[in-house]
Amino acid sequence: MTSQPKFIVVEGLEGAGKSTAIAFIKQYLQQRGITPVCTREPGGTPLAEALRDLVKQLHSTEQVAAETELLLMYAARMQLLQNVIRPALDAGKWVLADRHDMSSRAYQGGGRQLNEQFINQLRQAVLGELRPDLTLYLDIDPAVGLERARQRGELDRIEQEQLAFFQRTRQKYLQIAHSEPGIAIIDASQALAQVQQQLKAALDQVLTA
């Protein structure tokens, strides 16, 4: 088993099962003597959590510009990177992240159709060369995912978007997953046991790398 710390990210649309997957992965790693530092985005520090509240709440008196939304995501990400993710990796700890940069590329790049060059400039400024060792992308039909999310309670500002927004977001997720290394596509429409089998297979690759 490797002693190198790894940065593992779980991605996907609302209701894809990210929280459920994170709980499983955490336990799977702990059984192998690894206690990961768990993060979520946007959020994970007091300031970044405040930005999360701002970005998720409905603003009845003004429209949130897509560029503003993107900048808030990267502001929260910078704060989390500086205060949690980089220090953890530098200290030799594993990091298990509920969403990261791929979310901005998919939601703001795909869903909101923001300029890719603008996003890439922000990525470079905020992330530099940092990339996850493994991204587990939980792929789900947005209609199925949103129905799961709806059953859990009230939908937030982004969750209230039209289905077409989530279809564009999914397309961008898939486009990135098919064209870049280190991304495992997990069929999240399957029953939990099958999803966990897929997660194990992908994790075992980094555990033995």
What is the contact surface with ligand T5A in residues (CB under 6 A)? Answer: 12, 14-20, 40-42, 73, 99, 103-104, 107-108, 148-149, 152, 158-159, 188, 191-192, 195
Closest by CA position to 95, among listed 39, 142, 24, 46: 39
Shortest Cβ distance from residue 93 to ligand T5A (Å)?
21
Shortest Cβ distance from residue 66 to ligand T5A (Å)?
10
8 Å CB contact between 73 and 104: yes
Residues 6+ apart with CB under 8 A from 23: none
59 vs 152 by CB, closer to ligand T5A: 152
200 vs 209 by CB, closer to ligand T5A: 200
8 Å CB contact between 150 and 101: no
2 vs 160 by CB, closer to ligand T5A: 160
Cα distance between residue 165 and residue 112, in whole Å: 7
Shortest Cβ distance from residue 131 to ligand T5A (Å)?
16
Shortest Cβ distance from residue 119 to ligand T5A (Å)?
10
Stated as kind and residue range, the H or E segment containing 98 is strand 95-98
> Could you please report the per-residue DSSP string of 134-191?
EEEEEE--HHHHHHHHHHHS---TTTTS-HHHHHHHHHHHHHHHHHSTTEEEEETTS-
152 vs 200 by CB, closer to ligand T5A: 152
108 vs 135 by CB, closer to ligand T5A: 108
Locate 20 and state its tokens: 């459920």
201 vs 209 by CB, closer to ligand T5A: 201
Is the sign of the CA dihedral 155, 160, 163, 169 positive or negative?
A: negative
Shortest Cβ distance from residue 198 to ligand T5A (Å)?
10
Shortest Cβ distance from residue 63 to ligand T5A (Å)?
16
Q: Which amino acid is at 141?
A: D
